[in-house]
Structure 1
Amino acid sequence: MKISAELIALQERLGYQFSQPDLLRQSVTHSSMSGPNRIDNQRLEFLGDRVLGLVMSEALLEQDKSATEGVLAPRFNALVRKETCADVARQIDLGAALKLGRSEQMSGGRRKLALLGDAMEAVIAAVYLDGGFDAARALILRLWGKRIETVESDAKDAKTSLQEWAQARGLEPPKYVQLSRSGPDHAPVFNIEARLATGETSTASAGSKRQAEQAAAKALLDQISS
């Protein structure tokens, strides 16, 4: 089957050439586009999450040979959480290659944190199945790059960091407001706005309120720090 221009370009951004392009095609196919002749990326997402976890566990152990499990756990969580996967997906413009149903396209699916994070995990699985663990490890370490070196500063919970920022300036705690909820019951998307008493706001979407609040808090932290 001929590979599309979007997937050829994505391979270049990934720095990996697939011998089985159908795996890449499946990895970017959202469930809103699945059908009798098209398989979505949910199973690949499941596998990719595990591959990512193993690679990051190895990388963290190698980076700090004296760190305890209590120190490593928050670093690990910071590197594998959906928000980080979505950040990496944006870095390689994965959204441009996503295959979405019309409703998801109309609702801005190419920019949704949950969709991008899931697709990034699916792409990792596709590389793993196509080229083996070494290929997947090389891809992950290349794309995550300095995030692994600087993970200590990212390991703190974003909502906690934002609250500490507000308290240090004598402000009321940040507020989180649900702007909307969309999608089916089995795959909801929450759109949350984080607000500071000083008037700054930021919004984010995710598959759970907790994830959306964390993403909105991180976006607001990035906003006020810049």
Structure 2
Amino acid sequence: MTQLPPETRAWLGSVGFSVSNDRVWLEALTHGSFNGARSDSDEADYQRLEFLGDRVLGLAIAGWLYHDSASREGRLSQRLNALVSGASCARIARAIGASSHMRLGKQAREDGGADSDNILGDVMEALIGASFLDNGYEATREVIYRLWHGELSGDVGKAKHPKSALQEWAAGNQRAMPRYEVTERSGPDHAARFTVRVSVHNVGTAHGTASSKGEAEKRAAQAFLEEFG
């Protein structure tokens, strides 16, 4: 199939996308389990478009945050990572009804793929990639701003406890969960000082020092986000 079903074309238009090239939109909605997505087929799954859409989404949201906020880079990165995370993309995809139009193999659908956060998030990014190819960056950016309006105007990624923010950052960037370790304890019990190291595998480490282990972990997480986030 190289033409969109009429109901899918109507749905895409209803959520703000403009469709000229049917093939790219079919690709964006096609999971690898679908029987048309084969290496010897004219059709493909959404993986390449997901890669592209992830970058377009990141640029659009980064631009919005830069112009909307005077926050320092660490704070901007924290919020950006939350807004473009797989969880955020899945929420948007679910809200606009993407699951009804995704092309999944029989087993993947029976296994709950139509309501999978991973698949929904990937498809949302692929749709953004398709829009970029079919309509260009500016038109796609405006669709992103409309679809993400609630997330952008809400509290997503704002003022979270640094440990929670770091955990969300790690999950959103498909990294291992942060590990905390007390590396030094000094002073008497009534005036103890703790130094904690937080590390994320294949990313880096940061340290925090405070009068309690919990506060030292918090400071370490904040230092990590400011350096690597």
Same fold (TM over 0.5): yes
- Relative to structure 1, the CA distance from residue 157 to residue 84 in structure 2 (aligned partners, 3 Å threshold; closer, same or farther) is farther
- Higher alpha-carbon Rg: 2
Q: Distance in 1 between matches of 2:123 and 2:156?
A: 26
Q: Is the 8 A contact 1:30 1:41 kept in 2?
A: yes
TM-score w.r.t. length of structure 2: 0.66
1:120-177 Cα deviation digits (max 9, x unpaired): 000000000000001110110010012112245656379849xxxxxxxxxxxxxxxx
Residue 20 of structure 1 deviates from its aligned partner by 0.5
Correspondence for 1:80: 84
TM-score w.r.t. length of structure 1: 0.67
Question: Is the aligned partner of 1:20 residue 2:21?
Answer: yes
Q: Distance in 2 between matches of 1:68 and 1:81?
A: 20
* Equivalent pairs, count: 164
Correspondence for 1:113: 117
Quick one: which amino acid aligns to residue 56 of structure 2?
Answer: V
Residue 70 of structure 1 deviates from its aligned partner by 1.3
Q: Distance in 1 between matches of 2:83 and 2:161?
A: 12
- Relative to structure 1, the CA distance from residue 59 to residue 4 in structure 2 (aligned partners, 3 Å threshold; closer, same or farther) is same
Q: Distance in 2 between matches of 1:116 and 1:43?
A: 15
Residue 15 of structure 1 deviates from its aligned partner by 1.5
Instruction: Please give the secondary structure, in 1, of the residue aligned with 2:13.
Output: helix
Q: Is the 8 A contact 1:52 1:80 kept in 2?
A: yes
Residue 56 of structure 1 deviates from its aligned partner by 0.7
RMSD of aligned C-alpha atoms? 2.3
Quick one: which amino acid aligns to residue 32 of structure 1?
Answer: S
- Relative to structure 1, the CA distance from residue 61 to residue 85 in structure 2 (aligned partners, 3 Å threshold; closer, same or farther) is same
- Relative to structure 1, the CA distance from residue 157 to residue 18 in structure 2 (aligned partners, 3 Å threshold; closer, same or farther) is farther
Please, which runs of 5 or more residues in structure 1 have no aligned partner? 162-206, 211-226
- Relative to structure 1, the CA distance from residue 123 to residue 68 in structure 2 (aligned partners, 3 Å threshold; closer, same or farther) is same
- Relative to structure 1, the CA distance from residue 116 to residue 208 in structure 2 (aligned partners, 3 Å threshold; closer, same or farther) is farther
Please, which runs of 5 or more residues in structure 2 have no aligned partner? 166-173, 178-229
- Relative to structure 1, the CA distance from residue 105 to residue 155 in structure 2 (aligned partners, 3 Å threshold; closer, same or farther) is farther
Correspondence for 1:44: 49
Q: Distance in 2 between matches of 1:12 and 1:152?
A: 27
- Relative to structure 1, the CA distance from residue 156 to residue 63 in structure 2 (aligned partners, 3 Å threshold; closer, same or farther) is same
Quick one: which amino acid aligns to residue 119 of structure 1?
Answer: V
- Relative to structure 1, the CA distance from residue 21 to residue 73 in structure 2 (aligned partners, 3 Å threshold; closer, same or farther) is same
Q: Distance in 2 between matches of 1:155 and 1:41?
A: 34
- 1:173-212 alignment, distance < 5 Å: none
Q: Distance in 1 between matches of 2:101 and 2:135?
A: 21
- 1:35-184 alignment, distance < 5 Å: 35=38, 36-37=40-41, 38-64=43-69, 66-151=70-155, 156=160, 160=164
